[in-house]
Structure 1
């Protein structure tokens, strides 16, 4: 039996679900504006501080290593203490570590200091990863929402793209008008404002934290259940195994495009061009978020969207690595970002439909951990490739690496999970995992 295909982004919402969506979009807007102030100039900021290409991408690798190290513990915080608590801790941690980054730039600090603070930046982001998405899904289910997750997550990605468009362009222009450190101070200010917003608007709904008189017992309980519903759940496991290659490549490409495009443009001080690159990615996210439910409607299975996106994205990177024309590179960058952005909400909906509420944040955090682990290895590897062979060659190498994710996506598809064909927010999965439909060829 084939479920009806989703009909696009026109899902109706009851008032409670609409309120939940507004809060989610507000949190997404503020967090992305704060983060994106530096996205367009981060690599240039590190190079301006005296780091080499290898050291700059190694610093980014330490950031992702921090995410790997803290993803599961902060996921347990979200499932054990509450998603609101996790979000508030994230705003404070990220604000403090961002300010320390600014101080390192002023002091032209040695690399080991950048490595330490990069790990703390990773810690700040892990408080967000999993927590906000888990809060949204549980609150929507509690409110009685019966539409498709792709629609809500797609709107979130559109808001994220708008926020990134503003933040990245503003960051590049402000850096060119002042200096590379000012956007980092702006991020600190917005993060502190988001603490106040989340404190007033974000409340755990449809979810009860796993309270226990023994913190260690609570951690053990949540982790055990998360493994059962994560790594031991075959369709989820294969999605996690694909993540290091797709996410690791995505992180590298985004940051490598800054110096790559400046080199093509011919002016190493044109920081607004670096901001423009990030802005194009942001605009592509808006379009991709709008396309997500429509792309889902073209296929019977969610995995079809993800597999096609991985193949097309890899081909685009191979072509991007061969061009020497600035405007052609911008067009290819936009296409690459649209393809990946359209597949992201589909992947999120697929994974969320297979995770029980009690372990949702921890499993999502572990999924994020897998993606970050790819960045730990892939960023310095491709950064070194850029030092030896140039950025075009490193982008082509990135396209080859992304192809490694495809066999894992195919393996997840073969498990025949009910979530692969679902078109609406699924009922709460059991601890043993979601019901599965008969496998199809």
Structure 2
């Protein structure tokens, strides 16, 4: 099982080696895909993931973590390998459909497999924070290197970028093939359907602590996803050269990874409550700071948001893993991801419309107010428990 953990750290890293994504908009523009069609494709992509999150989590719990992760990774690699062949809207639509299904299968299962492997290796539940922090750092390192590598390879041509991306996409498949499925125990005498019903009832109705963790994962995860796209618009309006976008994206990702990696040390030194509070306070400061200081001052203050995101990813996931049995861990994690996608489908278009109508400072201030309310309503009750 210790080998599993190392392999899954590698998977977390190379799963993020999607070097074409950082240049996705300009590449599709060379194929005649305007922004209207681009947003249509992203809507389809989000809808596929939204519909596939919970079924894929159930598939992972019922069929096996490794099998589902292997199937998703293979489908993702095939999608990237076919990408250089597409040049029409229909081809790119097919790509987004298959990629959405693939990412749904990967989502949740990789974290559940890592956590189960840690427990099977004899690790205590408290060690889960460090394990998840390491995986988060590996993922952010993958994102960082991917952004820098994509900017370097595209200087040759888009063709080089696409084929390099296709080759790299098969590395996660090779890593998953070497993973051993850890044991996941079920209480005897209960049917899975009854256990799932009991789990959902406990998570969403009776268990207030678990419900708060899940809602916070959704709320702050949605904020992070929105800011991923808002940041690029912010950098553009701040006059940042396009060549520096990859460097900024890599830097933000690395900071988030280091923050997640430091979560276990922070808990040992300061306790869990101050870190949970920081998860909410830091992004709020970033929103208002970016609204007040458009330019490099706002970009520097914006660093606080990925720090909060990195801490939150580890703290919320660890809290959820501690409360959910191994048998349905992937299902509940997929529920959280489903909530993030659904919330983004509502908040994302509103943010885009607001930027077009009122400008970035107004929208960032509105986000600061919105997440201040989320802090009071959702995070403070979790902190004081």
Shift of 1:404: 4.0
CA-atom RMSD in angstroms: 3.0
What TM-score does the superposition give when structure 2 sets the normalisation length? Answer: 0.87
Please list, as runs of the form range in 1=range in 2, the aligned pairs for 1:394-433 lying within 5 A after superposition.
394-406=363-375, 407-413=377-383, 416=385
Match of 1:175 among 147, 154, 161: 154
Please list, as runs of the form range in 1=range in 2, the aligned pairs for 1:353-372 lying within 5 A after superposition.
353-372=322-341
What TM-score does the superposition give when structure 1 sets the normalisation length? Answer: 0.77
Name the residue aligned to 2:181: 204
Please list, as runs of the form range in 1=range in 2, the aligned pairs for 1:121-136 lying within 5 A after superposition.
121-136=99-114
Shift of 1:204: 1.0
Q: CA 1:383/1:256 → structure 2, altered by over 3 Å: closer, same or farther?
A: same
For 1:362-381, what per-residue CA distance to the aligned partner results, in whole angstroms no more than 9, with x for missing partners? 11111111112111112222
Shift of 1:72: 0.8
Match of 2:201 among 228, 231, 234: 228
Name the residue aligned to 2:60: 78
Match of 1:319 among 289, 303, 310: 289
Greater alpha carbon shift after TM alignment, 365-374 vs 168-177 = 168-177
Distance across 2 between alignment mates of 1:116 and 1:401: 36
Distance across 2 between alignment mates of 1:305 and 1:115: 41
- Contact 1:165–1:279 (CA<8 Å) still a contact in 2? yes
Distance across 1 between alignment mates of 2:260 and 2:29: 33
- Contact 1:94–1:125 (CA<8 Å) still a contact in 2? yes
Q: Secondary structure at the match of 1:309?
A: helix
Are 1:137 and 2:137 matched, yes or no? no
Q: Secondary structure at the match of 1:19?
A: helix
Greater alpha carbon shift after TM alignment, 372-381 vs 289-298 = 289-298
Please list, as runs of the form range in 1=range in 2, the aligned pairs for 1:280-319 lying within 5 A after superposition.
280-302=251-273, 304-319=274-289
Shift of 1:384: 1.9
Structure 1 gap ranges (5+): 1-15, 211-216, 417-441
For 1:347-370, what per-residue CA distance to the aligned partner results, in whole angstroms no more than 9, with x for missing partners? 111110000011111111111111
Match of 1:67 among 49, 61, 66: 49
Distance across 2 between alignment mates of 1:65 and 1:274: 27
Are 1:30 and 2:3 matched, yes or no? no
Structure 2 gap ranges (5+): none
Shift of 1:189: 2.2
Shift of 1:337: 1.1
Name the residue aligned to 1:40: 22
Name the residue aligned to 1:428: none
Name the residue aligned to 1:154: 133
Distance across 1 between alignment mates of 2:38 and 2:292: 24
Are 1:191 and 2:191 matched, yes or no? no
Q: Secondary structure at the match of 2:294?
A: coil
Q: Secondary structure at the match of 2:232?
A: helix
Name the residue aligned to 1:92: 74
Name the residue aligned to 2:226: 252
Are 1:340 and 2:309 matched, yes or no? yes
Distance across 1 between alignment mates of 2:4 and 2:32: 45
Q: CA 1:184/1:209 → structure 2, altered by over 3 Å: closer, same or farther?
A: farther
- Contact 1:141–1:206 (CA<8 Å) still a contact in 2? no
- Contact 1:284–1:335 (CA<8 Å) still a contact in 2? no
Distance across 2 between alignment mates of 1:47 and 1:378: 25
Shift of 1:117: 4.5
- Contact 1:253–1:398 (CA<8 Å) still a contact in 2? no
Distance across 2 between alignment mates of 1:282 and 1:79: 30
Q: CA 1:145/1:68 → structure 2, altered by over 3 Å: closer, same or farther?
A: same
- Contact 2:116–2:182 (CA<8 Å) still a contact in 1? yes
Q: CA 1:44/1:80 → structure 2, altered by over 3 Å: closer, same or farther?
A: same
Distance across 1 between alignment mates of 2:338 and 2:200: 13
Runs (4+) off by over 6 Å: none
- Contact 2:75–2:102 (CA<8 Å) still a contact in 1? yes
For 1:224-274, what per-residue CA distance to the aligned partner results, in whole angstroms no more than 9, with x for missing partners? 24413432332222222334432222112112322431342365xx3x322
Q: CA 1:65/1:305 → structure 2, altered by over 3 Å: closer, same or farther?
A: farther
- Contact 1:165–1:278 (CA<8 Å) still a contact in 2? yes
Name the residue aligned to 1:424: none
